[in-house]
Amino acid sequence: MRAVERFEPATYAVWWIKASIQEYILCSWSLVKMGSTATQRKLFFNLRKAKSKISALQEGDMRPDQVKVIAKRLGVTEQDVFDMNRRLGGDASLNAAIREDGDPGEWQDWLVDESPDQETTLAASEEFDNRRKTLSDALTVLNERERRIFEARRLAEEQITLAELAEEFGVSRERVRRIEVSAFEKVQKVVVKHSVAAMESLAALPVH
């Protein structure tokens, strides 16, 4: 209540109006979010003045010694100064010409898309589907117990122990291990046979 009694509406309103103006300037300065932490606000509104005081008026990145001086004066990190200086350089269009001598090249021409292209994605998807089908076909040569052990030991995300499977089937752990090895060899033969058949099919295709 005492705080309310000493409250001055005019002073409080001026503070909020100033904060709102700063917020608007900060948000509308760039298409890229500038940030809203206390450090970023301090740098946004004071960096140009600080650069002017030490005659750091060149375009682009400042020298390390200049960054160090400004960081010390403003009480922020050198990385914060470096990042904000780059942001204050303004937005640039990717369609802008790289050179001004008539060269048609644009900055976007130098952007590299590191994601796989459609052909690579399709090939990987087809390869995955083929492997899954091959494995599915190979599992059909196993009986119910062999398949259960093979899937639990070779395909499950959380591998089941030999002891657990031995208890499940009422046999020794050594017996489970032998069934696992035998099942793997059967599946491997089918997979190899399928791969050989696929290679032969490709070799038989006409060459254009």
Residue 104 forms part of a structural domain: no
pLDDT tens column, 74-110 = 888 888 888 887 777 655 566 666 666 666 666 666 6
Residue 94 forms part of a structural domain: no
Q: What does DSSP assign to residue 32? A: S
Distance CA 177, CA 201 (A): 36
- Count how many domains the chain has: 2
Does residue 159 share a domain with residue 85?
no
pLDDT over 80 (residue 143): yes
Of 46, 73, 89, at which residue does a domain stop? 89
The parent domain of residue 156 ranges over 118-203
CB 99 within 8 A of CB 105: yes
CATH of the domain at 198: 1.10.10.10
Q: Average pLDDT, stretch 179-186?
A: 93
Residue 154: name the closest of 125, 173, 182 by CA. Answer: 182
pLDDT at 103: 62
Does residue 123 share a domain with residue 68?
no
Of 89, 107, 126, at which residue does a domain stop? 89
Does residue 74 share a domain with residue 22?
yes
Residue 200: band (very low, low, confident or very high) from pLDDT cuts 50, 70, 90: low
Tokens representing 157 are 């995300």
Q: What does DSSP assign to residue 160? A: P
**Chain mean position to CA 8:** 50
Q: Average pLDDT, stretch 19-34?
A: 57
Q: What is the pTM for the complete model shown? A: 0.42
Residue 175 forms part of a structural domain: yes
Residue 58 forms part of a structural domain: yes
Q: What are phi and psi of 125, to 5 degrees?
A: -65, -45
Residue 106's DSSP bridge partners are 97
Residue 132 forms part of a structural domain: yes
Q: In sequence order, what E strands does 46-200 have?
A: none
Write down the H helix ranges in the chain. Answer: 2-5, 9-28, 38-53, 64-74, 78-87, 118-139, 144-150, 162-169, 173-203
Residue 50 forms part of a structural domain: yes
Residue 38 forms part of a structural domain: yes
Distance CA 187, CA 61 (A): 61
pLDDT over 90 (residue 162): yes
Residue 97 forms part of a structural domain: no
Distance CA 112, CA 102 (A): 23
